[in-house]
Amino acid sequence: MKRVLPGFGLSLGFTLVYLSLLILLPLSGLVFKASTLSFEQFWSIATGERALAAYRVTFGASLLAALINAFFGLVVAWVLVRYPFPGKRFVDSLVDLPFALPTSVAGITLATLYAGNGWIGRHLEPLGLKVAFTPLGIVVALTFISLPFVVRTLQPVIEDIEPEIEEAAASLGASRFQTFFRVLLPGIFPALLTGFTLAFSRAIGEYGSVIFIAGNMPLISEITPLLIISKLEQYDVVGATALACVMLAISFVLLLAVNALQWWSANRHQSRRTGA
Amino acid sequence: MSIEIQNIGKRFGNFVALDNINLTIPTGELVALLGPSGCGKTTLLRIIAGMESADEGVVKFGGEEATHLHARDRQVGFVFQHYALFRHMSVFENVAFGLRVKPKHERPSEAEIRRRVLDLLKLVQLDWLADRYPSQLSGGQRQRIALARALAVEPKVLLLDEPFGALDTKVRKELRRWLRRLHDEMHISSVFVTHDQEEALEVADRVVVMNHGKVEQIGTPDEVYSNPASPFVYQFLGNVNVFHSRVHGAWANVGADSAEGVPPKGKEALAFVRPHDIDIEHTPVAGGIEATVQDVHAIGPMVRVELAHASELIEVELTRERANVLQLAKGQCVWLKPRQVKVFSVPEVPLEEGGSGI
């Protein structure tokens, strides 16, 4: 078949080479290195007590942070799109700050604020809430660094909703509540899922900000990336790659699942297309 | 249900969108709000629907005050120019929406909802599309679904905002006839906004011509077309030739008996003649004016002739038969004789080009 757009072969070749060099090659190197272990050795490292606790902290805190952002990010995006207010552009650019700020700076700042003698920690501690140097601190740090993903994904989608849609719902007798849950939310749900996925994967990979606020106590507030680093520091390269392989596999499966969900929710309204 | 609009005014900053509008729409009537873009017709419709609040004045439905009633409590059906269908819902669910969001004690049973939705889809002749999604429909089909959705809640009043504005000419013509029939079957009051004079004249029982936030004329389609109340209405409803006072002087001889409402002698005046109200003759006629043929276009069933008289350009529309008899050629010298002239005093504000808006 003759194509109208030229350059398909060349650009596809380039894309594949680029992806291979940047992503596939390092990842396969990782798997290759880990494969020097026997299965029993691999299994005992991957399911060690400290490793399991680290997975739990990493994925649990990331999931919690992504969920928090899915909710508050939606609110922030909604307000930024829908309502004019003084200083809106300033607030809008604030959202991008976690993108640009070195994560270690974020980590140190948060740790200082939430420490027992910090500005915020000072008031939380008497209430029995310890944030810094606990798993809760990890959630705070991950929420901070992954917020822009949700907001920036949702903004264009919310901008696309015509005000007429809401007016139509109102003229048909729907309350604000019904309008939001039956009309608006289903429309932005695929984008919300995308934002959630991005925030979640960003949080899983986060290292810099977390190590400052987490306290890094083995079995309690140690994240997997930190465990990998500490193994490397003890020259246990193979052990580190084994953990990395587990992270890789879990992340891949999770992302695949969320992507499938997202594909389903975006396509279920066009699936029965019969060429009208 | 009848609609009464009393002294409605609305401003956006310094811009006066509506200025002291008074209008009564009796039950069962189909009314067109006609005017160029920016004349306030959509704002008026949105005020009736409760989607915009008026700065002053009163809206009454069936004699009852409804000025501050929320849109969802007004029992109006609203149809938008760009359909505003819910993209993630099937056609069936779109139409069923108004029934499903009713409070529990008013909500019909699932079977009853199904029956009513399918009835409505049959009414708009699209019951075979119930399982499709809006993105799979053509513009005309979408608008009919939007109409079925608006009718599902059994509104007392149907409001349509340029309902056919986004459709192509052929579909528009079909749909407006169909709307007329539908309106007659439903026994409700309908108001639709349009900038297309042909649409308003063909469909409506009454036409409300608006300009600059004011009502220029209210009347039946025939009244507003053949007896326009103002130069604006004359120009907006179809093509027209405007002759300024100096030309009017030359026509004074014929004008006396055929022209209506001639202003006092000596005052400046404008004479309005529709292009199809002018005859062309090869020989001099009493009271006729001399003109030169500039161009001849055959457009469908008629022939449009552009002529020059002094510095004025005059448009004349002839039937094909008449054009065949005359055999006009460019540069030919002919005589024009108007059959019907209407004369207005020169308005204080300069006239704008009449036209179709966007």
In the numeric block, which tokens belong to residue B174? 């079909």
Strands B259-260 vs B341-345: parallel, antiparallel or unpaired: parallel
Nearest to B72 among A173, A186, A274 (CB): A173
The more confident residue out of B186 and B48 is B48
- CA neighbor of B134 nearest in space, from B88, B66, B82: B88
Instruction: List the helix and strand counts (H, then E) for chain B.
Output: 10, 19
Helix axes B139-152, B110-123, angle to 10 degrees: 140
- CATH assignment, A38-161+187-267: 1.10.3720.10
pLDDT tens column, B217-244: 999 999 988 888 888 888 888 888 877 6
Residue ranges per structural domain of chain A: 38-161+187-267
* B138 chain-A contacts, CB cut-off 8 A: 276
- CA neighbor of A132 nearest in space, from A153, A144, A147, A117: A117
- CA neighbor of B267 nearest in space, from B349, B352, B344: B344
Strands B214-219 vs B333-338: parallel, antiparallel or unpaired: unpaired
Query: What pLDDT was estimated at residue B249?
Result: 47
Q: How far is it, in rounded angstroms, from Cα A44 to Cα A39? A: 9
Q: How far is it, in rounded angstroms, from Cα B5 to Cα B179? A: 24
Query: What pLDDT was estimated at residue B322?
Result: 86
Domains, chain B, in order of start with CATH, read 3-236 (3.40.50.300), 241-345 (2.40.50.100)
Residues A145-163, mean pLDDT to the nearest whole number: 91
In the numeric block, which tokens belong to residue A272? 């029965």
Percent helix, strand and coil across chain B, each to the nearest 5 = 35, 30, 35
The more confident residue out of B245 and B140 is B140
Distance to chain B for A193, nearest Cα, Å: 16
Strands B157-161 vs B76-79: parallel, antiparallel or unpaired: parallel
Query: What pLDDT was estimated at residue A90?
Result: 92
B187 within 8 A of B156, measured Cβ to Cβ: no
* A168 chain-B contacts, CB cut-off 8 A: 78, 80, 84-86, 146, 149
Distances from the Cα of A235 to the Cα of A11, A37, A141, angstroms = 41, 15, 29
B183 within 8 A of B30, measured Cβ to Cβ: yes
Q: Which of A166-170, B67-71, B115-119 has the lowest mean pLDDT?
A: B67-71
pLDDT exceeds 60 at position B261: no
In the numeric block, which tokens belong to residue A251? 């992340």
Other beta carbons within 10 Å of A164: 18
Query: What pLDDT was estimated at residue B346?
Result: 64
Distances from the Cα of B340 to the Cα of B224, B259, B284, angstroms = 15, 7, 19
Q: Is B160 strand, coil or helix?
A: strand
Query: What pLDDT was estimated at residue A64?
Result: 94
Query: What pLDDT was estimated at residue A62?
Result: 93
Helix axes A224-233, A49-82, angle to 10 degrees: 130
Query: What pLDDT was estimated at residue B142?
Result: 92
Residue-level length of chain B: 358
Looking at residue A251, its amino acid is: S
- CB within 8 Å: A182 and B97: yes
Residues A151-168, mean pLDDT to the nearest whole number: 91
Query: What pLDDT was estimated at residue B47?
Result: 92
**Which ipTM value was assigned to this complex?**
0.77
In the numeric block, which tokens belong to residue B327? 């055999």
Q: Which residue matches tokens 């509506």?
A: B18
Looking at residue A159, its amino acid is: E
A238 within 8 A of A36, measured Cβ to Cβ: yes
Q: How far is it, in rounded angstroms, from Cα A110 to Cα A142? A: 11
- CB within 8 Å: B86 and A165: yes
Report the Cα A217 to chain-centroid distance in Å: 23
In the numeric block, which tokens belong to residue B99? 């029934």
Q: How far is it, in rounded angstroms, from Cα A20 to Cα A88? A: 42
Looking at residue B330, its amino acid is: K
Label residue B169 by pLDDT band (50, 70, 90): confident
Interface of A with B in 120-179 (CB under 8 A): 162, 164-165, 167-175, 178
B214 within 8 A of B349, measured Cβ to Cβ: no
Q: How far is it, in rounded angstroms, from Cα A14 to Cα B333? A: 73
Nearest to A186 among B49, B51, B88 (CB): B88
Query: What pLDDT was estimated at residue B358?
Result: 34
Q: What is the pTM of this model?
A: 0.76
Label residue B210 by pLDDT band (50, 70, 90): very high
| Closest-approach residue (CA) in chain B for A186 | B88
In the numeric block, which tokens belong to residue A188? 């932005």
A77 within 8 A of A207, measured Cβ to Cβ: no
pLDDT tens column, A49-66: 888 999 999 999 999 999
Any A CB within 8 A of B98 CB: yes
Nearest to B133 among A172, A182, A269 (CB): A269
pLDDT exceeds 70 at position A118: yes
Q: How far is it, in rounded angstroms, from Cα B170 to Cα B181? A: 17
Name the average pLDDT for chain B: 83
Q: How far is it, in rounded angstroms, from Cα B82 to Cα B92? A: 19
Return the exposure string of A228-239: e unless at least 16 CB atoms fall within 10 Å of the residue's CB, then b.
Answer: bebbeeeeeebb
Residues B182-195, mean pLDDT to the nearest whole number: 88
Count Cα atoms within 13 angstroms, Cβ side, for B73. Answer: 6
Name the average pLDDT for chain A: 87
Radius of gyration of chain A (CA): 23
Other beta carbons within 10 Å of A57: 23
Query: What pLDDT was estimated at residue B268?
Result: 64
Any A CB within 8 A of B86 CB: yes
| Closest-approach residue (CA) in chain A for B157 | A171
pLDDT exceeds 60 at position B259: no
pLDDT tens column, B300-322: 888 888 888 877 788 888 888 88
Other beta carbons within 10 Å of B203: 23
* A165 chain-B contacts, CB cut-off 8 A: 84, 86
